Amino acid sequence: MGRLKPEPFREIKRRLQRAGFVETSQRGSHVKFVRRQGDVIDTVVVPNKREIPVGTLHSILNRKRLTNPSRVGLSV
């Protein structure tokens, strides 16, 4: 498995939407995405920055059952 690279917000948004997440709200520069699967609700908050740092990408993937980056099309 390769390493993650910083990704632009618009790419992360597009890939989360492809994985079933819907943009629900925004507070300041942070955008909340929600995915409902039966009784399970996954929430991801992503900063609306020009480029999302690798550490933030890891946090998003680890917190919300997205441990396989290819599930949301993230390059590795």
pLDDT at 35 over 60: yes
7-17 per-position pLDDT tens digit: 899 999 998 89
pLDDT of residue 67: 46
> In the predicted model, what is the mean pLDDT of residues 47-62?
88
How far, in Å, CA of 16 to CA of 8, rounded? Answer: 13
Domains in the chain: boundaries: 24-66
List, edge to edge, every strand of the sheet that includes 22-27.
22-27, 30-37, 40-47
pLDDT of residue 2: 63
